[in-house]
């Protein structure tokens, strides 16, 4: 077989493998997530599903030690989610969105953020001054923006760059 035909055959094999991997996204994610938790020495029950609408692979982890996986304000959880996304995407050959939830952390965090948003809206409305919220992740800022998007008395804006990016709640004029 000449060199050109070898390259074509290798390319076809790689494409075939990638196509097969795309179909097995959940299976690949399951293997990688279980291996990561095993290496961390964490025993957990894990459920996996592919969200047909968003095409994301959702992972629900139940463990007796959720704090270790969640970390401060979900930083460890976000890092775990990002690492899983990168590793799975490399294996599958296309970007794969991974959403990890530990216990009911995401739901509880969303409730806290919604209360924070409404409290800031009240302050801004009654004081007439902008309210600057503490630093939040992009995902957390999004929850607050969505919560306040239909609020009749305030608007929310993100200001700044990088680590110093803040969300500001301002009264409507």
Which tens digits make up the pLDDT trace of 69-82? 999 989 999 999 99
Distance CA 75, CA 60 (A): 17
Tell me the per-residue pLDDT of 100-112, one tens digit each, with 9 for 90 and over: 999 999 999 999 9
Q: At what angle do helices 75-92 and 25-40 cross, to 10 degrees?
A: 130
Where do the domains of the chain lie? 3-103, 107-171
The model's pTM: 0.75
CATH superfamily of 3-103: K homology (KH) domain (3.30.300.20)
Q: Do domains 3-103 and 107-171 have the same CATH topology?
A: no
CATH of the domain spanning 107-171: 3.30.1370.50
Token pair of 103 as six digits: 């216990």
């Amino acid at each position: 077989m000449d060199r050109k035909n070898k390259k074509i055959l290798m390319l076809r094999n790689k494409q075939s493998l990638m196509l097969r991997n795309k179909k097995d996204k959940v299976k690949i994610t399951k293997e990688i997530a279980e291996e990561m938790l095993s290496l961390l020495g964490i025993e957990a029950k894990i459920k996996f599903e592919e969200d047909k609408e968003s095409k994301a692979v959702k992972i629900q982890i139940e463990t007796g030690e959720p704090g270790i996986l969640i970390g401060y304000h979900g930083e460890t959880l976000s890092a775990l989610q990002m690492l899983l996304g990168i590793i799975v995407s490399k294996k599958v050959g296309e970007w794969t969105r991974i959403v990890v939830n530990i216990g009911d952390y995401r739901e509880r965090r969303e409730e806290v953020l919604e209360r924070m948003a409404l409290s800031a809206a009240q302050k801004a409305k009654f004081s007439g001054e902008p309210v600057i919220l503490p630093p939040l992740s992009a995902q957390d800022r999004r929850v607050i923006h969505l919560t306040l998007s239909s609020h009749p008395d305030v608007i929310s804006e993100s200001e700044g760059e990088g680590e110093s990016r803040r969300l500001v709640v301002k009264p409507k004029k």
